[in-house]
Structure 1
Amino acid sequence: MLIRLHSLNDLACLLQIDRIRYVLSSYLRVRLEKIERYAHHLLEKDASVTDPLQAVLSPQEASYAKEYVSSMESHFQKVVLQQMPEIIRGFDAVKECVKPNLESYVFFKVKKAVPGVLVEDFRGEGRDEEVDLEEGSQYLMRYNTVKDLLQSGTVVFI
C-alpha cells in the first residue's frame, strides 16, 4: 500500500489507526480463544439466562461456540472414543469441560464508589479485610470478589 503523506500529522493518524487495528484484532483473538477454551461452560451459562441482555455471548458468538463444540465432539468421537472399549465410550463432554478459574486475579477500574467490599483471605488464616473502592481508582483483586460489581456495571475490566 503506497500512500503519499502530506504532513507529520498524517503519519501520526496512520500510526494511530494501526494501533487501534492492532488492539481490536488482539482483543478479538483473545476473546475467540476464550470462547473456544470455555465453550461448554459459556453455552451452559447462556442457556440458563432468560434476559438476552444478560447473555455472555452475542448471537454470532453463541452460534460459533455451538458449531465449535459440535465439531470438537464429532472429532473426539471419531478419533478417540471409537478406539476405546465400550465401557469408556459414555464420555460426557459437559461434565469434563474446562471451566474458568473464578479465583484468578483481574484488573478493574471503579466507575462508582463502593464502600466495604469484603476481600477474603485466600490462605484461610482469617485475615479478611474490608476495602473501600474509590471512584476512578484501579485495583487488582480476585474475580469472585468483584463479579457482582462487574455484572452491575459498578466496575469495569481494564
Structure 2
Amino acid sequence: MRLRQEVVVIAGQFRETNVEQGNINWVLAIACLLAGVGIGALGYHLLNGGARTAQKLRQRLAERDRELSELRAGLSEYFERADGLLDALLANGQNLQQEMRDSATRLGSSQPRKPDLHQADETNDNLDTPRDYADGNRGTLSEDFGLKSKSDESPAQPPRY
C-alpha cells in the first residue's frame, strides 16, 4: 500500500505539474499575443507616420493647386479687362485723331501751320538793347554810381529803431 500511496502521490504531483505546464503555455501564449500586438502597434505608428506626412503633403499640394487655379483665373480676368481698356484707349485715340483732322480741314488747312521764323528775325533787328536807366540819366552800371562828392557829405545819422 505504501507503494500504491507513493504512486498516487507521484501521479498527483505529475498531474499538478501537467496542469502548471498547461497554465504556463496559456500564459506564454497570451504574453506572446500581447507582445505581438504591442510590436504591431509600434510598427503601425512608425510606418503610418510617413503615411500621415504624405497625406498632409497631398493636402497642401491640393490647396496650392486650388490657389494657383484661382490666381490663373484672376490673371485671365485682369488681362481681359486690360485688353478691353486698351481697345477703348485705342478707339479714343483714333477718334481724337479724326477730330483733329476734321478741325484742321474746317479751318482751311489740312496740316497745322508752322510760324514763319524768318519774318520774326527781320523785325527784331532794329530793337535797342535793354538799359537799367532812363534817357539822360546814368544807370546803376555806370562807374560813378553810388559815389558821393565831398560837398554832398553830411554827418551820419544814427539808425532809427
- Which structure: larger Rg? 2
RCO greater where, 1 or 2, for CA within 8 Å and sep 6 or more? 1
As a proportion of its length, which structure holds more strand?
A: 1
**Into which bin does the TM-score normalised by the smaller protein fall?**
under 0.3
As a proportion of its length, which structure holds more helix?
A: 2
